[in-house]
Amino acid sequence: MKLVIIKYNAGNIQSVSFALERLGVDFAITDNAEEIRKADKVIFPGVGEASTTMRYLREHKLDQVITALKQPVLGICLGMQLMCTFSEENNTECLGIFGETVKRFIPQGDLKVPHMGWNDLTLSDSWIDRGVDHQYAYFVHSFYVPVNSHTSATTEYIAPFSAAMHKDNFYAVQFHPEKSAETGERVLKSFLAL
């Protein structure tokens, strides 16, 4: 299996790399469109800010590459948000794979933003190993995707939101599997087994 991590101005490429190494998985990190197209599976990671990242993707024509992929693609954190149509983060037009708007958390009482910490996952019809249901994953984010028809796992912070989504060959998680211990490993293995 040829696995590629899309290289761009994302902050968590190294931690995703370490997680895959722990699983004994061979992979390449590249921004080369042809290598990405030829991969069996693609990971689209992300920690950062939506408008800056979308500008980078467009300048390097990676937006067109990502939306045209036919193999399984996993978006992580900002990667998931950028797969949506629009983000409230700096009013950013995104990739449009999921026809959803990424919303900003509004702090309430003791619930601060960004959301940082461990939350349990509730799986619905999911591509994720059922053993992850009601297990904890690690989240760090200020924006979220509301529950929608593509939601495959939910959690709650201030309001219920999509912890994972799936549409066609596109899979996505809001949490960081690379920082979510055994739960994260099971999620990565679920994607690699597709």
Supply the CATH number for residue 186's domain: 3.40.50.880
| Active site positions, annotated | 77, 176, 178
pTM given for the model: 0.97
Residue pLDDT, tens place only, 52-74: 999 999 999 999 999 999 999 99
**How far from 125 is each of 50, 64, 133, CA to CA, in Å?**
28, 29, 11
Please determine, for residue 109, whether its predicted confidence score (pLDDT) is greater than 80. Answer: yes
| Average pLDDT value for the chain | 96
Q: Mean pLDDT across the stretch 3-9?
A: 93
- Token look-up 């190294």 returns 14
Interval 156-187: pLDDT, tens: 999 999 999 999 999 999 999 999 999 999 99
Q: How many domains does the chain have?
A: 1
Q: Could you tell me the residue range of the domain that residue 44 belongs to? A: 3-193
Residues 6 or more apart in contact with residue 19 via CB below 8 angstroms: 177, 178, 184, 185, 188
